[in-house]
Amino acid sequence: MSTAPEDVRLQASDPAVAKAVAAPVLLALGARAGFDVARLDEFAIALDIAIASAVPGPVRADMRLTGGRLSVTVSPVAPDRLHGRRVLLEELAAGVAENGDAIALTLDA
């Protein structure tokens, strides 16, 4: 299992591009942490849903792997879009936290 923090910062021109690019990176980081494929798959779906909450236009996804914790922060998200998805995200990710116009998802080993 990796112990040194690994960071990936991704800026995409719109949510559709972010969705296509971010998930494979997330899967790669999650594989390094040793998560099983079912949890990884559901976490990647959570990322898709978080990106679907993003404001149309440029989207940023910051991913970090620290020890056994994988996290991703998506911004900017639209509060009204996020509202209906919040509980669903909590089912798919171990942690969900809103901070201003960003939503952070975490998955712990």
Partner 1 sequence: MPEGTDALAARAADGDPAARAELVERLTPLVARLARRWEGRAAREDLQQAGMVGVLSALDGFDPGRGTAFASYAAPFAVGEMMAVLRGSAPVHVSRTGRDLAAAVETAADALTAAHGRAPSPAEIAAAAGLEEEEVVTGLAARRALAPPVPDTALEDAAGTDDAVEALEARLAVGHLLGELDARSQAILVMRFGLELSQAEIGERLGISQMHVSRLLRAALADLDARLG
Give the shortest CB-30-to-partner 1 separation in angstroms.
Answer: 8
- Residues engaged in binding partner 1 (CB under 8 A): 14-17, 20, 23-24, 27-28, 30-31, 34-42, 44-45, 48-49, 52, 54, 56-57, 81, 84-88, 91-92
Could you tell me how many residues make up the chain?
Answer: 109
Closest alpha carbon to 65 in 20, 99, 32: 32
Distance CA(50)–CA(104), nearest Å, equals 9
Output 9 or 83, the one with its CB closest to partner 1.
83
Output 56 or 67, the one with its CB closest to partner 1.
56
Give the shortest CB-49-to-partner 1 separation in angstroms.
Answer: 5
Distance CA(34)–CA(46), nearest Å, equals 18
Per residue, the 3-state secondary structure of 3-41, as one string, reads CCCEEEEEEECCHHHHHHHHHHHHHHHHHHHCCCHHHHH
Give the shortest CB-98-to-partner 1 separation in angstroms.
Answer: 15
Give the shortest CB-12-to-partner 1 separation in angstroms.
Answer: 11
